[in-house]
Amino acid sequence: MEVEKYNLVQYPAEVLASVAEPVEKIDDSIRRLIAKMTDIMIETKGVGLAGPQVGAPLRIFIVSLDSSREGVKVYINPTVTVEGAVDSSVEGCLSVPGVSAKVRRFSRCSVTATDLDGKRFHEKAEGLLARALQHEADHLDGMTIVSRMGEAAKIAHRKQLRKLAEAHKAQK
């Protein structure tokens, strides 16, 4: 795995609309990928980043609610289970720049995943962490905030979405 080739990809890149593959083995290439993802997330001031967002179609994401390197937590092959009430809050996405919209998510969730040392862990989350975990898990299933936006938000952001689509087409 050549980590240098991984960079932030933008909507509507195909990798963002595809279901990611499980990570088979945690090795140095996965560790390098996580380091690269961490650099990208911190540079762009994000709170989470999934493998597909850097062009790596793997079931892996990182979260750091304070956007710090020290706060980064790694989730490999995560399973997120949602619970609680559903609420709406404005979300943005590093892969859909210039777009933010109200997205409905569950107020709580739990996640079971593997860390970089190969240890399985389970945690419960609420508030921003629950929202971030659900957002990143969506990326592993081929969904972006565009998939979750209502029609009014899609109409409101149509110029920016069209601009992203045209930029994507020009890169091909």
pLDDT, one tens digit per residue, over 79-130 is: 999 999 999 999 999 999 999 999 999 999 999 999 999 999 999 999 999 9
The total domain count for the chain is 1
Among candidate residues 43, 136, 151, 166, the one labeled active-site is: 136
What b/e string do you get for 141-162 counting C-beta neighbours within 10 Å, with b at 16 or more? ebbbbbebbeeebeeebeeebe
Which of 142, 143, 126 shows the shortest CA–CA distance to 65? 126
pLDDT category at 24 given cuts 50, 70, 90 is very high
Q: Could you confirm whether 91 is annotated as catalytic?
A: no
**Residue 63 Cα to chain centre, angstroms:** 9
The pLDDT assigned to 1 comes to 62
Which pair of structure tokens corresponds to residue 68?
Answer: 């710090």
What's the pTM value of the predicted model, to 2 decimals? 0.96
- Measure the CA dihedral 69/43/29/129, to 10°: 50
Q: What is the pLDDT of residues 76-91, one digit of tens each?
A: 999 999 999 999 999 9
Q: Which domain holds residue 64?
A: 3-171
Q: What is the CATH number of the domain that holds 43?
A: 3.90.45.10
